[in-house]
């Protein structure tokens, strides 16, 4: 597969909110296909289709097989963190859909939000976004805290169309 084909396959793999949610589930804890299906309320065959797509593109990796409750062979999967640096065209709607799915059912008190209106020239806008991205990158590279609680951050920066 050429680099261009590989990049396109990776972009397609990351163009699904379900697959992004699978990566989040498997980021800090290995999960089997059955566990993934249960957590996301999916049919196990549907979950397996998504898992195989993520495996084939290197976003998930299989760990050592283990025996399940009834002695059946189970394969736990872990996210490789490769998705963090993989560019995806037109990713904003996919990330927003994923975010909305992930917060569905949470109490308002379980979601911290901040909203700020600004009027910046291109230089200051670029500087701000570069600093925010650098901060996120710094935390993305940190090892997970053993006593930490899995959380997510969704940041959206957009033009205020109503102010024009």
Q: What is the CATH classification number for the domain harbouring 111?
A: 1.10.10.10
Helix (H, G, I), strand (E, B) or coil at 60: strand
What one-character-per-residue DSSP string does 86-136 give?
A: ---TT-HHHHHHHHHHHHTT--GGG-----------HHHHHHHHHHHHHHH
pLDDT at residue number 132: 96
With tokens 């169309």, the residue in question is 161
pLDDT at residue number 1: 62
Nearest to 73 by CA among 32, 42, 103, 37: 32
With helix as H, strand as E and coil as C, how does 20-52 read? HHHHHHCCCCCECHHHHHHHHCCCHHHHHHHHH
DSSP 156: -
What's the pTM value of the predicted model, to 2 decimals?
Answer: 0.85
Q: Which domain holds residue 86?
A: 3-163
Confidence of residue 164 (pLDDT cuts 50, 70, 90): low
Q: How many domains does the chain have?
A: 1
pLDDT at residue number 3: 84
Q: Which residues pair with 78 in a beta bridge?
A: 61
Q: Which residues pair with 66 in a beta bridge?
A: 74
């Amino acid at each position: 597969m050429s680099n261009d084909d590989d990049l396109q396959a990776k972009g397609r793999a990351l163009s699904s909110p379900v697959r992004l949610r699978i990566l989040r589930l498997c980021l800090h804890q290995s999960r089997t296909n059955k566990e993934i299906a249960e957590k996301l309320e999916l049919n196990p065959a549907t979950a397996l289709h998504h898992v195989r797509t993520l495996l084939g593109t290197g976003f998930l990796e299989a760990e050592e097989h283990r025996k399940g409750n009834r002695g059946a062979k189970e394969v736990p999967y872990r996210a490789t963190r490769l998705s963090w640096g993989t560019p995806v065209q037109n990713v904003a709607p996919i990330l927003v859909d994923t975010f909305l799915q992930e917060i569905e059912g949470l109490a308002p008190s379980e979601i911290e939000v901040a909203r700020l209106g600004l009027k910046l020239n291109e230089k200051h806008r670029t500087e701000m976004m570069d600093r925010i991205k650098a901060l996120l990158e710094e935390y993305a590279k940190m090892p997970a805290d053993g006593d930490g609680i899995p959380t997510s951050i969704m940041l959206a920066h957009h033009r205020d169309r109503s102010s024009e």
